[in-house]
Copies of this chain bind each other. A is one copy, B any other.
Amino acid sequence: MAAKTKRKEGGKLCDGLAGFTRSELYENAIHRTLRINQLKKEHNWTQEDFDIAIRCLNYEVGFVIHLSMFIPAIERLATDDQKAKWLPLAESYRILGTYAQTELGHGTNLMALETTATFDPRTDEFVLRTPQLSSMKWWPGSLGKTATHAIVLAQLIIGNKNYGMNPFMVQLRSLEDHMPLPGIIVGDIGAKLGANSNDNGFLILNDVRIPRENMLARNSKVTKDGRYIQTSTNKANYATMVLVRLSIIRWAEDTIKNGSLIAIRYSAVRRQSSLQAGGPEMQVLDYQTQQYKIFPSLAASYALFFTYEAMMKEYEIAYAQIMRGNNQLLGQIHGQLSGLKAFASDLVTYELEMCRRSCGGHGYLKASVVGETLLHTLPLVTVEGDNTVMYLQCARYLLKQIAKALAGQDVDEPTSYLKKDILSYTCPVQKGEHCTNPNYLLKIYTQRAHSAIASVARQLQFDLESGKDQSSAFNNNLVSLVQAAKAHCQLCLMKNFVESVSALERTCSENLASVLRQLCLYFGLHGIVTASGEFLESEAIGLQQLEWIKAEELKSLAAIRPNAVALVDAFDLHDQTVMSALGRYDGNAYQHLFEAAKREPMNQTQVPPAYYKYLRDLIKGQPLAKL
């Protein structure tokens, strides 16, 4: 039954549909990945073609970690000899890999990981061990049932000395029969809210021995006689981590595009009530409250698109430098992308839920897909570094920058505003119509970020000077530090939006430019209104400005309305990518919902098995069997 339904759906993985077992979901993801690999060969796709195919499949594919982390980690952490050995095997899928870092008891604080790799000079081996329950590796993708090998991050121990985290290539399963090797206990960590086709796994290592040459030794190595030698300070692995954060911004963009597309198309189809007695029912998209619910996600889609593009350019410059051994831009790109990863994922998880609500009750149906999209997006706020920790990393970077600025030193370009005299600010909005100038709004965002950063820096300084120890001074300011980082990130998005639209204006038609300007303006206005308390507090605006901005925000809803459907159509997402009954291009939402219901496995019989088991006796007044 399940398999048949899948075929009808064109191979769509309806993750979490209770009719599908995890095994089926898992198998399907592997199937589709092998198939697109075939297609890649058959049609001679470039890597870019392949990446687009993956996006078209909403990232619902297998071997994700093998491709996105295992192979890149070999490339960046292995010596040339090691690469020559492992890369061909990995690239031809003769071994299947994962990257095993996070443990049951530790994630974000990498330094505290408990797994050890102890060098045994007698046998020239490392002995890998997860010493207690909390040390088992937990979460790595494809670890549960797929991976034959893992790059295991472990504390390197030589003698009694801990040399810190190092990467080790560990074979997990026999290449003959896929059985776990001796000393290895491995399995799936259980069902999740989404992404159930992925066999995220656990791994217990009970004194597993690997040859010395399995330590990936590009940056440091252990000699036969047990000496630890650092051979390079190349930061390429940091760059990978930063790249993953960047890719989360892209993921967030893709996901909110899906959400806003579904919400806007359905809201143009759905009709409800009328504000005029006896008038025809209105499209719900015409209600101010509905626009207020959905247009933020539309604006966020475009804002994240422009921010991803801009940050990718910055990343490429930084990466090229890093590969040449120049780490000058690493702090900047790391600080920026830590914050933006958190801000983007916070933004889209919030807005996706608004999209879901805007579909009314039907948004709770899996066939609407908007809820499923939310479920797949929820992990973005914790993966690859919990958002709070990410904001704090960004905040630490901002604190360093403002300290430099105050000391009259140069600061990085993205924080150059910290060099300004904060007191010389006058709000550029001095009458109502000034609110329609995105550049004025940008100045407001800049002042607010500057003020938030300066204020927490001052408070920290004050706390330290009044004798608080560093840890409690820091802890007492964590909330403000997060807010400062958010203010900076929100500014980045607004800045990228404004600058990208300005650049486009030079090449695109005035009609198109004015639509994008309108959306950008709305993004700026809405951002101020949603955090109006903080903007007022920073005195970037006053009460009069807020009144104008709020009025202009509402006006801009009406201005966006005529272009809203076209703005999501412009995402150029095929129905088979979005897979939503509500968000179809043809607008036949009700028909598609009904078709989806007919495919529900429970509907394949008129009378459910529970009738014969319980309901029949109940209805007929017969005594029930022992329950």
Spell out A's residues near B (CB within 8 Å).
14-23, 25-27, 30-31, 34-35, 38, 92-96, 102, 104-109, 112, 133-134, 136, 138-139, 144-146, 148, 175, 177-180, 187-194, 196, 199, 202, 270-276, 279, 281, 286-290, 292-293, 349, 353, 356-357, 360-361, 363-367, 371-372, 375, 378-379, 381-383, 386-388, 392, 469-472, 474-479, 482, 529, 531-537, 539, 543, 546-547, 554, 590-591, 593-594, 596-603, 606-611, 613-616, 618-621, 624, 627
Q: Is the CB of A276 within 8 A of B627?
A: no
Bound state CA distance, A17 and B276, in angstroms? Answer: 47
Q: Is the CB of A289 within 8 A of B482?
A: yes
Q: Collect the chain B residues with CB atoms within 8 Å of residue A178's CB.
A: 606-607, 611, 615-616, 619
Neighbour of A603 across the interface among B187, B272, B287, B598, CB < 8 A: B187
Q: Is the CB of A599 within 8 A of B356?
A: no
Q: Please name the residue on chain B nearest to A194 by beta carbon.
A: B364
Q: Is the CB of B363 within 8 A of A382?
A: yes
Bound state CA distance, A364 and B191, in angstroms? Answer: 9
Q: Collect the chain B residues with CB atoms within 8 Å of residue A619's CB.
A: 93-96, 148, 175, 178
The 10 closest A-B pairs by CB, nearest first: A532-B533, A275-B471, A533-B533, A288-B478, A27-B610, A190-B600, A187-B603, A191-B366, A289-B478, A109-B273
Neighbour of A554 across the interface among B476, B616, B620, CB < 8 A: B476
Q: Is the CB of B139 within 8 A of A361?
A: yes
Q: Is the CB of B133 within 8 A of A590?
A: yes
Q: Is the CB of B23 within 8 A of A21?
A: no
Q: Is the CB of B288 within 8 A of A479?
A: yes
Q: Is the CB of A614 within 8 A of B30?
A: yes
Bound state CA distance, A274 and B111, in angstroms? Answer: 11
Q: Is the CB of B188 within 8 A of A105?
A: no
Q: Collect the chain B residues with CB atoms within 8 Å of residue A199's CB.
A: 602, 608
Neighbour of A104 across the interface among B26, B535, B590, CB < 8 A: B590
Bound state CA distance, A601 and B21, in angstroms? Answer: 9
Q: Is the CB of B537 within 8 A of A606?
A: no
Q: Collect the chain B residues with CB atoms within 8 Å of residue A365's CB.
A: 189-192
Q: Please name the residue on chain B nearest to A106 by beta carbon.
A: B272
Q: Is the CB of A606 within 8 A of B179?
A: yes
20 A–B contacts from the bound complex (CB under 8 Å): A19-B191, A23-B602, A27-B610, A35-B627, A109-B281, A134-B590, A144-B602, A144-B603, A145-B607, A189-B593, A190-B367, A275-B474, A287-B478, A288-B475, A289-B482, A290-B388, A353-B353, A361-B386, A531-B533, A533-B536
